Chain A
Amino acid sequence: MFRFAIKMLFGDSAKFYGILLGLGFASLLIAQQASIFVGLMSRTFAFIGEVGHVDLWVFDPTQSYVDEPKPLRTTALERVRGVTGVGWAAPLYKGLLVTTLPDGSRKVCDVVGIDDDTLAGGPAEIVAGSLADLRLPDAVMVEVGSSQQQMLFPAELAPGAVPSPGQVFDPNGPKRPVEIGDIIEINERRARVVGLVKCAETFVAAPTIYTTYSRAVTYAPPSRRVMSAVLVKASPDVDPATLAARIEEETGLKSMQPHDYSMRTLGYWMRETGIPINFGIAIALGFFVGVAIAGQMFYNFTLDNLRYFGAFKAMGASTWKLLGMVALQALVAGIIGLGLGLGAVSAFGLNAAGGKLAFKMLWQIPLIAAGAVLVICILASVISMWKVVRLDPADVFKGP
């Protein structure tokens, strides 16, 4: 009878496609919105992952997330280095500074200053140039992703060329992306592009500029506290978690492993912003749209077939057998609808890969979408099943 149940489902093409549309649309909305949410939230701590190869981040205890400016005194670096078990410790500067382009336009950029000696904390992927070039005078490396959209140079100005005094550029004239040799100003100090790097998209959609720590602090506004964090590598055979506790105890600073710091940052954005609520509403809407469309279509499908179920019941089909048929129909429709929805989301994700759109489909997301579709199918089929349970087989003798 289960084979017949499937044929009954596929045979009513109008309702079948309607059910698939509802379930597919629901799983599409749920998985797509969840993936964008995860992608967006991942950007809040993307910089922590970008730094990589460090065991611990040490920062001000009141700092809630990685982009929050709570600078440390320079002495913090030496205090951390003095903790037993610290293999090496390097300073890190991170702050938003104003950058002026040759045509006079100004952009807020995320300036990252890495340790002059070790260059620890540098970008993960260098597109052009060498990281060691950062040791050259005024050297900076510019991120290609955001900068190619936001840091545009007048096309008539050759890379490395300096505008002649009084030269005026047409703000609406042709533009070119930043290239090696270009001269910019960061907080009214000269900087020369020696390399191009690729960075993970961050929540702060400003172009990222890498330079050495010592140069970064000259770009930053004068202050006694300029160091954003200390990056720590534990000595061999030293447990990072134990070392983190020891650093906290001896310095009074907060020390966390990269993953924990990422979660701290994520937690801040989850708690303090309306982003989860907004995406939650979108995901809930997807669920309810699925319930409304697929549920109603499936219910109507069952109602249309009720007379046949009644005939089967009269012929001796048990109620459990009929419930099994309805459940199987819901399950098959759910699997196909889910597949269509997730397929569409995957295509969407592939199309969005490398672009500005935040999209990250964790393996849990298809499972969540599958769970939601399962709930929709259960809700839809339970109502339908109730009609089947209540079905009086004697009704088959009633007239049309």
Chain B
Amino acid sequence: MAAATSIPTASPAGTAIRLRHVRKTFGKGEYAVQALRGVDLDIPGGELTMLVGPSGCGKTTLISILAGLLSRDAGEMSVFGQDLGTLSRDRLAAWRRESVGFIFQQFNLVPQLSVAENVSVPLVLKGESVGSAVRKSNELLATLGLEGRGTSAPLKLSGGQQQRVAIARALIHDPRLLVCDEPTSALDAELGRRVMTLIRDRSRQPDRAVVVVTHDDRIFHLADSIAHMNDGVVDRLSRGEHLSQPRQSL
């Protein structure tokens, strides 16, 4: 079992994301549910941080807040020095457009669009022409082993290939923050390891950060740090040699 460290923790690379006493409640009155009860967490730049914990502990709420999809009710938070709470809805959308890449558990690839068009969406949202965006998408797809598949329909691809398309879509606009929700849940062991290696490599710059929500203990050893969540708080942070060892399958 991983040993706990004090939280928040310092990092040599500097703090990319900083949360203090962040709270979030859904609903009101007797139906109110406290999803986050005061989260304190520092996510270092240039590292891959995993959020783990049982279902309902607040992982999804936390990544939604730090990706600018949800607003916090209380507490302080900065992402690469930006307090997202001060941004208007439009500015927040623009910030996400520029700074965040998403890998969804369900991929969310649009079936009516080709693989390259799906990948090009973030660039097109930033104002790039479809032709140019698709060309760049094909180049990125080639680096992910999907050369020549740009014109294919996403549903014609295997689960692993679809996941790589989703990764390409998350990386195409070179975001500073990569948020991944169960990125290996649909993949076999080998493919899961390759995908996570790809994602981890992406984090190796000081002005980058990768946050991965996962239940998959086969990939814990690939994290630089693991934030253990329970009942709406981060109660432990594991780093370095204290991370879980990979299971034999990985």
Contact = CB atoms under 8 A, between A and B. Distances in A.
Interface of A: 1, 3-4, 7-12, 305, 307-308, 310-319, 321, 392-394, 396-400
Contacts of B97: 315-317
A8 B154 CA distance: 13
B90 interface: yes
Nearest to A16: B112
A316 B94 contact: yes
A294 to B, nearest CB: 19
A315 B172 CA distance: 12
Nearest to A317: B125
A396 B70 contact: no
Nearest to B101: A315
B102 A315 contact: yes
B69 A394 contact: yes
The 8 closest A-B pairs by CB, nearest first: A11-B112, A316-B97, A311-B108, A394-B64, A316-B96, A394-B69, A8-B112, A397-B60
B205 interface: no
A4 B110 contact: yes
B47 interface: no
B104 A11 contact: no
B111 A11 contact: yes
A396 B104 contact: yes
Contacts of A12: 112
B122 interface: yes
Nearest to A321: B125
A305 B121 CA distance: 15
10 contacts: A1-B125, A4-B110, A312-B121, A314-B69, A316-B125, A317-B125, A318-B93, A394-B61, A396-B102, A396-B108
Nearest to A13: B112
A312 B123 CA distance: 12
B130 interface: yes
A314 to B, nearest CB: 6
A99 B124 CA distance: 78
A4 B213 CA distance: 30
A3 B125 CA distance: 12
Contact of B64 (A9, A312, A315, A397): A397
B113 A11 contact: yes
Contact of A312 (B67, B94, B125): B125
Nearest to B71: A394
Contacts of B42: none
Contact of B93 (A317, A392, A397): A317
Contacts of A397: 60, 63-64, 69, 104-105, 181, 213
Among A3, A10, A394, chain B packs the most CB atoms within 10 A around the CB of A394
Contacts of B113: 4, 7-8, 11
A272 B93 CA distance: 61
B98 interface: yes
Interface string B74-113: 0000000000000001100111111010101110101111
